[in-house]
Structure 1
């Protein structure tokens, strides 16, 4: 059977349209999706960084927790990057140069980790700069998506957000397993060298962005822009004086800021249980998929449930299920005849699903708190506040680890750390009335994905 060339062309166009969710695959869209993909694929060095800090720099669990809190700082000041990009164009361009610079900065940070970094302070600076690189590129690409969304219908704008989130998720899933497998065959320095290649993609695709330089008239309007910024700052200040905004924000901050035991558990998994990097990578891959399942469950069954109900139950269930970690920490699973690997995997999958279900209302609530006129800026500011809670979580976790005497080899009190951190997640429950009541919520909620590191 012969197929006419025009018919074949239509089939190809239809397939391409489905892949890009109805968006024409032009150069700028490819550049935007590449940036999101790179953000996801940088997880390639996630395990390498942890093993580098633990085995080569000999950091303790508490020290690693503090370091992870410090390097998250760029994600707390993201709105500043937006103001700088908008207000201080480079050679007349607001987007391209900043994306180029962020790529160069990220590559330099990973190369330094592969070559000259031999102390904890140098590692902190290098990892901080890599985090800064991703945060800046995230702000730039988000602004590009916003600019494109203005000219599109609500449905097209939503599909563009889904496309971007999907590109990041694909990058993350690809590297989830590879991050562990590479460490089985190569040194951490080699993994850093490989990772350094990806930020350079940002510098390359930046030239695909269709951006016109600022005209003289635009430069002359800087004073007008400054007045607009002052007006925006005043709107933000007025917004945060409203109880309907700052009370839910305070609740989420408390919820996010409870102590974390992640660093101690990583040391326990590798030094006590002797989990190999490849297995840890496999766990990360499966928990990433489990997180997607959690997103689907929320979207399919839970998105219309009042905030107070879903936060209350998800917090209680997460704390209860989190106590199952005690079975692994005390080696009770071995008494029950359950292998450490299988128990850890099953526990991680369940907690990942619950964790994602608990976190999805945060995104919905943050979007709903933003008043008209300052939506983008206030949303970025809220995300920065939530990310700063992560720094508090790491710091408080480090203090408790130090108090309990938990080190890279001493896990006698790890069970107590697990109990403390799980019970601390219940601390926000008395403040549930800070969240909007059911009657204050609209009947339907529109959820659009957003970028969060550590947040």
Structure 2
């Protein structure tokens, strides 16, 4: 994908004064190509042909219709009076100092067709001049003239306005587009691959709010349902199910944004819609004071669907921008985004465990304020930044759904896609967890809900540290080596649970809660370290124009394998007796056997480790090979559809028929489907 400049400079210049000629930052409407229309910069006018005829200078500069995606061609400046190196007052203009006011003065140092360097005296680049203009001046057939300041595209107007004022009054540059020379050379603007730049700042803030949304309500909702509303086990099942079901719709969200742009934009309108839906649902629950079970279930479903829609759009925005990162640095923006997201999970888990802890603390907030806090995060941290969020493509055309499906299948046939994703699916499906472990902690070791919450918070903190560790120390490491070591360590930790089952930790003076916390810290840290390599791999698999659908498909594929692992883990509880009554009686034989089995099974997929690339360079070679296999692509799509069907069917079963599972099982299931992605 090659960067296409966001604006062009269409200039046919006429000036007889010594006032420097200024550049225009864009051509706003098709009317600019009609008589009596011009862009004016004080005494210098940039005019379209007024005779209704064809002007070769104008047409050659524009190189296309206004509103299309232009290829930049620097303007030719041919003064009416004097030469290119003289002003009316004499002297070589190339020797004149830059103007004191923050404007962009462009002097042509050669002939009209020369490729000589164009000097721009402005830190803002081609968006200048900002000091007094540019202005769009239009005339009606009746002779009335109107003058309106022009900032660029509608989507860029907020950026330009802020940049203008901060630069003029404080000398600060918050947004720096390309200057004409850089555009001519095809340089990529720095903001495109800088996640902390103002046009991108809404992306990490969205990740932060998603992390908070994933964790904050879980514990308060369980307590509110069970203790305040007296909900049955079946109703708690329904709550957790509606929190998980929207994750199955990620591919549909991707299809929607790729196929149905709104006002030429594919991401930003859906991004805003998702977060507005999330905020509104939480505010309704807040206003309701004591919402009923049915109201909670319905609005929690809608708010989850809302931030899932925003999550898919956030991922798509990252994928689009990652195309402009160098191969060496590809994934840096995404890594930083996930660091912020995991930090949000830490904040959300901490707040959720503290604000509604009715059993252990006398002080707690009413549930209505908990919902308000949940809504406040995106309102405070995200919504003020949304106006500055820029899309790379602003003239997107609707795409046919069938064509999009064909393109998706075409992508799935690539060896670069189905081969590594086969490993991802098998690997995730075989990362089994002891389904009886939480019951063992609660029924066997008498852990309180507060202790369980503390273990979860510490685990979230270590997952955050794991993401940062990979980004800082292992970003350029061999992906296969990372998976090998992380899987081996995770298997050892899983088997080490046997120490807690037999109470061996107490012989060394280590309490049960301390050992359990250490176990959870290590496993969360290891999982987080191995999480990013595959996400970086997904970036390179997304074709231009289908970023939303493809990335959502790949992450959904990974998450669905996690639900399969959950189902297998649950089925294994029938092999040995790990019922709550058995554990309460002190019989832990089934628990340690399950831990041993899960620890042994986890490393088995490593025999297929050769299916994934070693690193980004190896992945690029695999992509450049371009080998396709129709059968493998068909199997890939079929397995994904069947997995979605099984997951959705299980959700319906949980809602209408299952009255037995407890909320710890539901939390474990929700965690498997929502991990990271």
* TM tier relative to shorter chain: 0.7 to 0.9
Is the 2:283–2:375 contact (alpha carbons within 8 Å) kept by the matching residues of 1? yes
Check if 1:140 corresponds to 2:313.
yes
Check if 1:103 corresponds to 2:279.
yes
- Change in CA separation of 1:203 and 1:353 when aligned onto 2, cut-off 3 Å: closer
Aligned with 1:432 (options 609, 631, 634) = 609
User: Higher mean Cα deviation, 136-145 or 201-210?
Assistant: 201-210
Larger RCO, structure (CA 8 Å, separation 6 or more): 1
What CA deviation, in whole Å up to 9, does each residue of 1:348-367 have, x standing for no partner? 22222222223232223323
Shift of residue 314, structure 1, vs aligned partner: 2.2
Q: 1:173: which partner in 2?
A: 346
Check if 1:182 corresponds to 2:355.
yes
- Change in CA separation of 1:326 and 1:53 when aligned onto 2, cut-off 3 Å: farther
Question: For the residues of structure 1 that align with 2:233 and 2:367, how far apart are their CA atoms?
Answer: 17
> SS of the counterpart of 1:324?
helix
Check if 1:325 corresponds to 2:325.
no
What CA deviation, in whole Å up to 9, does each residue of 1:359-388 have, x standing for no partner? 232223323444566455322210011111
Q: 2:418: which partner in 1?
A: 246
Q: 2:304: which partner in 1?
A: 131
Taking the TM superposition and a 5 Å limit, the aligned residue runs for 1:42-441 are: 42=213, 43-49=215-221, 57=231, 59=233, 71-88=243-260, 94-95=269-270, 96-105=272-281, 115-117=291-293, 128-143=301-316, 161=334, 164-184=337-357, 185-186=363-364, 189=367, 193-194=371-372, 196-198=374-376, 201=379, 205=383, 208-209=386-387, 222=398, 225-226=399-400, 230-258=402-430, 260-261=432-433, 264-370=436-542, 374-411=546-583, 412=588, 413-436=590-613, 441=618
Q: 1:215: which partner in 2?
A: none
- Change in CA separation of 1:388 and 1:49 when aligned onto 2, cut-off 3 Å: farther
Shift of residue 192, structure 1, vs aligned partner: 5.3
> SS of the counterpart of 2:354?
helix
What CA deviation, in whole Å up to 9, does each residue of 1:192-226 have, x standing for no partner? 545553487399928953699xxxxx89x64xx32
What CA deviation, in whole Å up to 9, does each residue of 1:85-144 have, x standing for no partner? 4545679983344442343346567989963228xxx98766544432321121234445
Q: 1:35: which partner in 2?
A: 206
Question: For the residues of structure 2 that align with 1:303 and 1:48, how far apart are their CA atoms?
Answer: 37
Is the 1:103–1:201 contact (alpha carbons within 8 Å) kept by the matching residues of 2? yes
- Change in CA separation of 1:424 and 1:176 when aligned onto 2, cut-off 3 Å: same
- Change in CA separation of 1:308 and 1:24 when aligned onto 2, cut-off 3 Å: closer
Question: For the residues of structure 2 that align with 1:148 and 1:134, how far apart are their CA atoms?
Answer: 21
Is the 1:34–1:202 contact (alpha carbons within 8 Å) kept by the matching residues of 2? no
User: Higher mean Cα deviation, 402-411 or 73-82?
Assistant: 402-411
Question: For the residues of structure 2 that align with 1:77 and 1:438, how far apart are their CA atoms?
Answer: 30
> SS of the counterpart of 2:530?
helix
Question: For the residues of structure 2 that align with 1:111 and 1:268, how far apart are their CA atoms?
Answer: 39
Looking at CA atoms only, which structure, 1 or 2, has the larger radius of gyration? 2
TM-score (norm 2): 0.51
- Change in CA separation of 1:241 and 1:146 when aligned onto 2, cut-off 3 Å: closer
- Change in CA separation of 1:10 and 1:206 when aligned onto 2, cut-off 3 Å: closer
> SS of the counterpart of 1:323?
helix
Is the 1:294–1:357 contact (alpha carbons within 8 Å) kept by the matching residues of 2? yes
User: Higher mean Cα deviation, 308-317 or 103-112?
Assistant: 103-112
Is the 1:264–1:406 contact (alpha carbons within 8 Å) kept by the matching residues of 2? yes
- Change in CA separation of 1:51 and 1:275 when aligned onto 2, cut-off 3 Å: farther
> SS of the counterpart of 1:72?
helix
Question: For the residues of structure 1 that align with 2:173 and 2:413, how far apart are their CA atoms?
Answer: 54
> SS of the counterpart of 2:306?
helix
Is the 2:342–2:463 contact (alpha carbons within 8 Å) kept by the matching residues of 1? no
> Cα RMSD over matched residues?
4.7
- Change in CA separation of 1:361 and 1:89 when aligned onto 2, cut-off 3 Å: closer
Shift of residue 181, structure 1, vs aligned partner: 2.2
Question: For the residues of structure 2 that align with 1:165 and 1:438, how far apart are their CA atoms?
Answer: 19
Aligned residues: 421
Shift of residue 390, structure 1, vs aligned partner: 1.9
